[in-house]
Amino acid sequence: MDFGLIAQYLANGILLGTMYALVAVGFTLFFGVLDVIKFSHGDVLMLGTFIGFTAWLGLEAIGIVNPWIQLVGVLLCSLAGTALIGAAIANWLILPLKKAPQLNTLLITLMLGTAIREAVRLFYPNGSNPKAFPALLPDASVEIGSFALRADSVILVISGLALIGALNLVINRTRLGLAIRAVAQDEETARTMGINYTLVVLATFAIGSGVAAFAGIMNGLYYNEINFGMGLILGLIGFSAAIIGGLGNLYGAILGGFLFAGLQVIGAALLPFASAYKDVFAFAVVIALMAWKPTGLIPERSSDRV
């Protein structure tokens, strides 16, 4: 048994799980507060990544080449820009349809995602071609047999887990988090208590979208490539993770993200032609889990809802 290879698969799974959990958290926040499944979430993630990439091009153009300064600039522009986009979507598309049939909201977010994706493909310079995302993190690695621990992977995992921890603190330990949980559990009671419902919804969509943008930047920094279709698969995986974990439950979203990554790693390790079939294996198991536990591994309770 090659323990180095097992450690390599485990390290890859932790990185992927962190990324997927960040995407799944957004779906859970949107559903918990507004009972909305926002199918444009993955494409908003992609747009945020392209915003970060454009910020890097701008910094290069004005002669700022320090990778750490560039990284900060990329993150700030990406997260801030995507948070504003998320809030704008909530204000102008989601809230006006609050009393309409849920199918209308599903359809409009699905169309919005397609519009964002095609707009990037058509109007971004050479948007249909993959972009080489800059390697802004240290490329050093430690090799022990068949196990290679990359410095950039360690930084990405620590940063992603720190963001998940910070989000958990915001939801459970701050006035904004209290307001979000109050609206999620009982909108009418929250309104009578003086909570600004619209502001809470906008803040929730801003937070969920910004967190997803961070996952997109993680993806770009790790693979050193982005493309206009990256949000499709990341959005689908994030939604699947939220469903199998328990849609509306923050901890369920995190569990679902790591579970899906674990399934991919198991598929890559055990199946022939691993890179081709790992996603097929992971989604097949997710289908089975959904049939077995339709409410998710951690069923939503009103007291847990976020």
Confidence of residue 58 (pLDDT cuts 50, 70, 90): very high
Q: How confident is the model at residue 49 (pLDDT cuts 50, 70, 90)?
A: very high
Domain ranges of the chain: 3-292
Candidate CATH numbers 3.40.1010, 3.40.50, 1.10.3470, 2.60.120; the one for domain 3-292: 1.10.3470
Mean pLDDT, residues 26-53: 95
pLDDT reported for residue 270: 80
Residue 136 pLDDT: 97
Could you tell me the maximum CA-CA distance found in the chain, to the nearest angstrom?
Answer: 62
What contacts 154, CB < 8 A, 6 or more positions away? none
Confidence of residue 99 (pLDDT cuts 50, 70, 90): confident
Q: How far apart are CA 110 and CA 132, in angstroms?
A: 28
Confidence (pLDDT) at 301: 60
Give the model's pLDDT for residue 304: 59
User: Using 50, 70 and 90 to split pLDDT, how confident is the model at 18?
Assistant: very high
| Tens of pLDDT, residues 176-186 | 999 999 999 88
Tell me the C-alpha to C-alpha distance, in Å, between residue 76 and each of 82, 158, 214: 10, 18, 10
Provide the terminal-to-terminal Cα distance of the chain, rounded to the nearest Å: 43
Say which residue the tokens 């993955």 belong to.
Answer: 42
Is the pLDDT at 264 greater than 90? The verdict is: yes
Positive/negative CA dihedral, 297, 299, 304, 306:
positive
In the chain, the percentage of residues whose pLDDT exceeds 70 is 96
Give dist(CA 281, CA 150) in Å, integer.
Answer: 27
pLDDT of residue 228: 97
> What is the tens place of the pLDDT at every residue in 117-173?
999 999 999 999 999 999 999 989 888 887 888 999 999 999 999 999 999 999 999
pLDDT for 159? 97
Q: Which of residues 6 and 22 earns the better pLDDT score?
A: 22
State the average pLDDT over residues 275-300. 86
For residue 273, name the pLDDT band (cuts at 50, 70, 90): low
SS (H, E, C) the chain: CCHHHHHHHHHHHHHHHHHHHHHHHHHHHHHHHHCCCCCCHHHHHHHHHHHHHHHHHHHHHCCCCCHHHHHHHHHHHHHHHHHHHHHHHHHHHHHHHCCCCHHHHHHHHHHHHHHHHHHHHHHCCCCCCCECCCCCCCCCEEEECCEEEEHHHHHHHHHHHHHHHHHHHHHHHCHHHHHHHHHHHCHHHHHHCCCCHHHHHHHHHHHHHHHHHHHHHHHHHHHCCECCCHHHHHHHHHHHHHHHHCCCCHHHHHHHHHHHHHHHHHHHHHCCCHHHHHHHHHHHHHHHHHHHCCCCCCCCCCCCCC
- pLDDT band of 3, cuts 50, 70, 90: confident
**Using an 8 Å Cβ cutoff, are 244 and 288 in contact?**
no
When comparing pLDDT for 65 and 147, which is higher?
Answer: 65
Q: What pLDDT shows up at residue 144?
A: 84
Report the pLDDT value the prediction gives residue 267, as an integer from 0 to 100. Answer: 87
Averaged pLDDT of the chain: 93
